[in-house]
Amino acid sequence: MRRLRDRTCSIRTAVIGLIVWLVLALPLSAQVSVLTQHNDIYRSGANLNETILNTSNVNVQKFGKLFTRHVDAEIYAQPLYVPHLLVPGKGIHNVVFVATMNNSVYAFDADDPNQSAPLWQDNFGPPVPASDVQCCCTDISVRVGILSTPVIDPSTNLMYLVSRNKNPDGTYHQWLHALDITTGQERLNGPVEITASYGNLTFDPKIQNQRPALLLYRGAVYISWASHNDCGPYHGWIVAYDASNLHQIATYCDTLNGTEGGIWQSGEGPTVGQDGNIYIMTGNGTFDANTGGPDLGCSFIKLSPAIPNQGGLKVLDWFTPYNVDSLNAADLDLGSSGVLVIPNTPYIIGGGKQGVFYLLNIHNLGHFNPGGDTQIVQSFQAGNGHIHGSPVYYNSPVNGPCIYVWSEEDYLKVFAFKGTYFNATPIAYSPNRVPDGMPGAMLSISANGQKPGTAIIWASHPYQGNANNAVVPGILQAFDANSISVDSQGIPRLKELWNSRMNVSRDDIGKFAKFCCPTIANGKVYMASFGAPNDPIGAGQLVVYGLLDSVRPTAPSSLTASVGDQQVALSWTPVSNADSYNIYRGTISGQETLYKQNVSQNYFTDTGLQDGIIYYYRVTAQNNGGESPPSNEVAASPQLGRGGTKTLSPTSDAYTCAGIYANQNFGAAQNLRVSNDSLNDTCYTFLKFDLSGLSSPLSGAFLALFGSSQNGRVTLVTAQAVSNSTWDERTITWNNMPSLLYPFANTRISPNDQYYRWDVSLYFLKQIATTNKQFSVALTPYRGLKDVMTNFYSREAGVHPPFLTVCSPGGPPAAPTELVANPDILQVNLQWDPIGGASSYNIYRATASGAETLYKTGITSPSFSDTGVQANSTYYYRVAAVNSFGQSVLSNEASATPLPKILPNYPSGFSSSGNIVLNGGATFDDTRLQLTNSATYFEASSAFFKYLVDVRKFHNHFTFQIQNAQADGFTFTIQSDGPTALGAAGGSLGYEGINNSVAIKFDLYNNSGEGTDSTGLYTNGAPPTVPAIDLSNTGIDLHSGHIFAVDMVYDGTTLQVTIRDTQTSATATQSYQIDIPNTIGSPIGYVGFTGGTGGLTATQEILTWTYTVP
């Protein structure tokens, strides 16, 4: 925020303005947490906030193994991650949590290779010997302790997990724990022993195998069970506990009158659908639900959520494949993987050992059809073998919404989602297949939203051998999730970026950790392993991968400092391999301590300092290889600066009227005024300023107050010295107001609202000379004019507060600070902090860093738009301040790359649509842009032009058609959040929640009183419901199925929208007063459409679209 500031300052002549200095404390980049298996309750397997790893730096040269952490047993649980955790006595750490089969939990520092000791470690007693619970196979080698992935509640810092024990007396037990993640200590009076009954069944803690990850949802912890190797008798159990006290809420068993039906899902946890219900898949077991029985082996099951004190886990719906009998007979569990939610749709998908995917609608799962699965949305053969690793989902900016899956004896496959179904033919395959045998690959995905070049598929699988009943070597692979190329055999292939065998001596992962997915967080990949290659069976280790940057950066050079009022501006020569810089500061030479970390540029302005104090600085460079030696030392003493100015705000204010009483303002500047209160009363405005922060030399001061004479009767207002500068406004009255000294400054007042100024230099300098720390003045109409005759006032003091500007003697001005360069369309916009005493600025420019030469002179404001540029070329800038004494040193360097002028131009449809980013359910239907379709419920979609466009003035034209028009509608949206912006479904129209935005809606459904045929303007992601403009009496019927043409013309202040029915020629026009650049925070933005459906649907399509600017 910038306001008018003085350019010159002298005792006799002054042009006064105002500075408001804002010091913005920029937060650290937001860091992602991984609190549950496969990242979220939808089990997407995606971290879409990964800003460090990308397709350019994940390669064998830059990426590899950083360190390992050995633990006491095998790791089956996915590692979890919490950033910025305060560990008592050990400070703040990014922490990775590991649970082992020896009933141990470790909390490790997630980043420091040298901190091998855990921050804390707990053990929960002797585990169960694997031989006690395995009746036919040895798929678990030694022991069974913590087998499933825990879950963390960030609001309480509690981790919930299940451990298993065999006591010396031969009894078996399972326990639910709630651990404080900062200490590892038990909370909530835990642990509690897990016991349960359902009908005539009783939970058996020896037989029931707690394999699926825990789920935390709506205050309840969900725990699920199957068995070991089908050793029975067993059932599929799910039990819910109150997360606040570990009391059991609800229990469900899927084969009440039968057997088996285990819930194991290869470690995948229960899933929460878009409707808030719980979804699981079961394995081989009794099925009789088609004849009215309760048994649901080999099925998808929808359960009601468990709510404390209310129960839950009631069967709401289910689906069982038509060939359930043959699946059971062949041990082809349906439930060998978990349920994945397709975001912003009513669909879920899952598959099992048959290799078939089932796409189901959560509003009607389909039950059972013995003649074939024709009653469900879709089924198709996805894999050549068993599906164990659940699919992961990513809405690719290149390929659209996709799922990725890697079954046994197969290639990694990519299936494209088309809004209501999947293309059953993969659009891409990995270059390699997994070895024969179990279990295929476990997948995760990382990306920085839909930013190109950031999406990576991570896959963990055996390097060789069958991991079913053996411990085998493993491999971790990384693939570009977007890049597809056709090989010599005509097969589309994903691009492999890296694998842990490319540099096996450095990056070997060791032994494959079965069913464990990679965890990706903040530039690192955390991967479980069953130990290093030479470790004994039953060992375990955590392997941490990341960017190597093994070359420690060199020290920054040429550190320099320039001073200003209460600030020091630093700059230095950039270091080529530095990721960031650290600033060290002190008040004694050679004793600087760390002051600021992660400074991204080669300059920094230190603000809030004390003038006259000498500060010492050094700078270091930082990357993953470590911190450089320090730079040279510089010393700097902040000062007002020759020819500079400083602005003071009043500490107190009040006014009195002669003969009556005081009106006390108690420091509220917005109430400061001189006004008509009573006839024949003289009004005084008192102002007091604190001078304690000033240092010499000083040359003058000027007072400013905002107002006008209004009726023109008063033309002169006098400033008078106040004898007592320590008055208290709360007790001031006419009878004891401060005594007034001589009048020393008069200012003429006009009828115009503006700042009026009084030269108070002589009185101010006298106060400074006597070391007085308070400065008070009183303003009154000249010669004591009465209140009835004067209308001078400061009615906008809250917007234009009074201030005192202090000046220093002349000299070259200080260097400009905080220069920033913002790219615009075919131009670069520069902005910097104004410098007191500067009469103009000079601009220096170059196309190479550090090579700037003089480019423009005589710039009179602290901003400049450079239009003499070419798109896609980078320009570097510095600025100097100028006054009559000369030119300052140069500012920090800033650079920007101007944007091309590319606009949406689809007058004949979207046959060429590469510049449009599709989100949610948006797709192309031939030459039409389809936002929603009539078959998909609760859908949210958006489609934005991928280039920034000018939104200061424009003409936007598009045609659209809505068929099967029930609900909900769509918007045309202008926003600055990015081309992947997407709001909520239903009446939110895919818009609600998009910040920094302006939208015009076309609404079909009455959600909140807006009617069933309405339009309207909405900003900053507000619910697009009411207020609204009713179209029902205009002849525009959005339900008609007609084609409509829309023209939007914006002249900078007024947005005029005209909707025309191309069949009936009916029109409706609306006008909105709106500052679009100010609303979205930028003169350029992303333009496009959003749409939504809820319990009712519509097919909403954009047919043509053109966008032009002057």
- How do residues 381-423 score in pLDDT, each as one tens digit? 999 999 998 899 999 999 999 999 999 999 999 999 999 999 9
Rounded to whole angstroms, the Cα distance separating 156 from 909 reads 52
Question: Collapsing DSSP states into helix, strand and coil, what is residue 670?
Answer: helix
Q: Is there a contact between 724 and 739 (Cβ–Cβ < 8 Å)?
A: yes
Non-local (6+) Cβ contacts of 292 within 8 A are none
Interatomic CA distance for residues 584 and 570, integer angstroms: 11
Report CA 461 to chain centroid distance, whole Å: 31
Q: What is the pLDDT of residues 680-736, one digit of tens each?
A: 555 667 778 888 777 667 777 888 776 666 555 556 777 878 877 777 665 565 556
Q: What phi and psi values does residue 133 have, to the nearest 5 degrees?
A: -120, 0
Q: State the Cα–Cα distance between residues 265 and 283, nearest whole angstrom.
A: 8
Name the most confidently modeled range: 830-834, 853-857, 1051-1055.
1051-1055
Q: Is the pLDDT of residue 5 over 70?
A: no
Rounded Cα distance between 1079 and 1099, Å, is 31
Domain spans of the chain?
41-75+390-514+516-548, 557-636, 648-807, 817-896, 905-1108
Could you tell me if 874 and 847 are in contact, meaning their C-beta atoms sit under 8 angstroms apart? Answer: yes
Q: pLDDT band at 23, cuts 50/70/90?
A: very low
- In this prediction, residue 595 carries a pLDDT of 94
Given the structure tokens 């096996």, which residue do they identify?
A: 504
What digits encode the pLDDT tens for the residues 958-971?
A: 999 999 999 999 99
- Neighbour count for residue 140 (Cβ, 10 Å): 23
pLDDT for the residue 678: 46
Q: Cα separations (Å) of 1058 from 163, 304, 956, 958, 1015?
A: 65, 47, 11, 11, 11
Distance of CA 733 to the CA centre of its chain: 54
Q: How many residues does the chain have?
A: 1110
Q: What is the pLDDT of residues 1031-1085, one digit of tens each?
A: 999 999 999 999 999 999 999 999 999 999 999 999 999 999 999 999 998 889 9
Q: What is the mean pLDDT of residues 447-454?
A: 94
Q: Are 341 and 43 in contact (CB under 8 A)?
A: yes
Given a contact cutoff of 8 angstroms between Cβ atoms, the answer to whether 8 and 14 are in contact is: yes
Alpha carbon separation from 1064 to 1037, 1040, 1044 (Å, rounded): 10, 11, 10
Nearest by Cα to 94 from 78, 75, 107, 79: 107
Cα angle: 499, vertex 501, 503; to 5 degrees? 100
More confident residue, 885 or 531: 531
**Band (789; pLDDT cuts 50, 70, 90):** very low
Q: Give the whole-angstrom CA distance, residue 69 versus residue 526.
A: 10
DSSP secondary structure letter of residue 307: B
Distance CA 847, CA 870 (A): 11
Can you give the pLDDT at residue 371? 95
Would you call 295 helix, strand, or coil by DSSP? coil
Pairing relation of β-strands 400-405 and 411-416?
antiparallel
For residue 656, pLDDT beyond 90: no
Distance of alpha carbon 171 from alpha carbon 194, whole angstroms: 14
Chain centre to alpha carbon of residue 247: 35
Q: What is the pLDDT of residue 884?
A: 74
User: Hey, what CATH class is 817-896 in?
Assistant: mainly beta
pLDDT digits (tens, 9 = 90+) for 990-1024: 998 898 999 999 999 998 889 999 999 999 999 89
In this predicted model, what pLDDT tens digit does every residue of 523-553 receive, in sequence order? Answer: 999 999 999 988 988 999 999 999 986 556 7
Q: Which residue has the tokens 């199925």?
A: 1041
Phi-psi region of 678 (alpha: psi -120 to 50; beta: other; left: phi over 0): beta
pLDDT in the model for residue 16: 25
> What mean pLDDT, rounded, does the chain reach?
86
Asked if residue 719 lies in contact with residue 745, where contact means CB atoms within 8 angstroms, the answer is: yes
Q: Which CATH number fits domain 648-807: 3.30.70, 3.40.980, 1.25.40, 2.60.120?
A: 2.60.120
> Per DSSP, which regions of 311-391 are E strands?
315-319, 340-341, 347-351, 356-361, 378-381
Q: Do domains 648-807 and 905-1108 have the same CATH topology?
A: yes
pLDDT higher than 60, residue 822: yes
**Distance separating alpha carbons of residues 1073 and 594, to the nearest angstrom:** 50
Q: Give the contacts of 1103 (CB within 8 A, at least 6 positions apart).
A: 909, 927, 928, 958, 959, 960, 961, 1043
* Predicted local distance difference test score (pLDDT) of residue 576: 76
Q: Which tokens hold the place of 17?
A: 């303005």
Q: Are 186 and 91 in contact (CB under 8 A)?
A: no
C-alpha span between 799 and 348 (Å, rounded) = 54
pLDDT for the residue 6 = 32
Question: For residue 956, what are the β-bridge partners?
Answer: 1048, 1107
Are 112 and 96 within 8 A, CB to CB? no
Unique residue bearing structure tokens 């991650």: 81
Query: Which residues are CB-neighbours of 704 under 8 A, at least 6 positions away?
Result: 16, 18, 755, 756, 757, 758, 802, 803, 804, 805
Close Cβ partners of 772 (under 8 Å, ≥ 6 residues apart): 691, 725
Share of the chain above pLDDT 70, in %: 88
Q: How many CA atoms lie within 13 A of 769 on its CB side?
A: 8
Q: According to the model, what pLDDT value does residue 419 have? A: 94
Strand 46-47 to strand 442-446: parallel, antiparallel, or no bridges (unpaired)? parallel
pLDDT score of 216 more than 50: yes
Amino acid at 11: I
Averaged over 496-508, what is the pLDDT?
Answer: 91
Task: For residue 622, give every residue at least 6 positions away whose Cβ sits within 8 Å of its Cβ, in sequence order, or none.
Answer: 553, 578, 579, 580, 581, 582, 597, 598, 628
pLDDT for 395: 95
**Confidence bin at 937 (pLDDT 50/70/90):** confident
**659 confidence band (pLDDT: 50, 70, 90):** very low
User: Which top CATH class is 557-636?
Assistant: mainly beta
Per-residue model confidence (pLDDT) at position 736: 63
Q: Where in 255-399 does DSSP place strands (E)?
A: 271-272, 278-281, 300-303, 315-319, 340-341, 347-351, 356-361, 378-381, 392-396
Asked whether the predicted pLDDT for residue 17 surpasses 60, the reply is no
pLDDT digits (tens, 9 = 90+) for 286-327: 999 999 999 999 999 999 999 988 899 999 999 999 999 999
Token pair of 1008, please? 């909140």
Three-class HEC string of 871-939:
CCCCEEEEEEEEECCEECCCCCCEEECCECCCCCEECCCCCCCCCEEEEECCEEECCEEEEECCCCCCC
Q: CATH classification of 905-1108 is 3.90.78.10, yes or no? A: no
Q: DSSP class of residue 335?
A: G
Element (H, E) at 765: helix 761-769
Q: Which residues contact 558 (CB under 8 A, 6 or more apart)?
A: 572, 573, 632
Give the separation between CA 1099 and CA 930, rounded to whole angstroms. 7
Phi-psi region of 642 (alpha: psi -120 to 50; beta: other; left: phi over 0): beta
* Beta-sheet pairing, 356-361 with 347-351: antiparallel
Q: Can you give the three-state secondary structure of 153-174, one letter per residue? A: ECCCCEEEEEEEEECCCCCEEE
- Give the whole-number percent of the chain exceeding pLDDT 90: 59
Segment 97-121 shows an average pLDDT of 95
Three-state SS for 260?
A: strand
Residue 1084 CA to residue 947 CA, distance in Å, equals 10
* CA nearest neighbour of 756 among 796, 810, 729: 796
Residue pLDDT, tens place only, 624-636:
666 788 999 988 8
Dig out the tokens for 354 from the structure: 């048959």
Residue 551 is predicted with a pLDDT of: 59
Q: Could you count the other beta carbons within 10 Å of the beta carbon of residue 1071?
A: 12
How far, in Å, CA of 184 to CA of 85, rounded? 13
pLDDT of residue 791: 42
Secondary element (H or E) of residue 326: helix 324-329
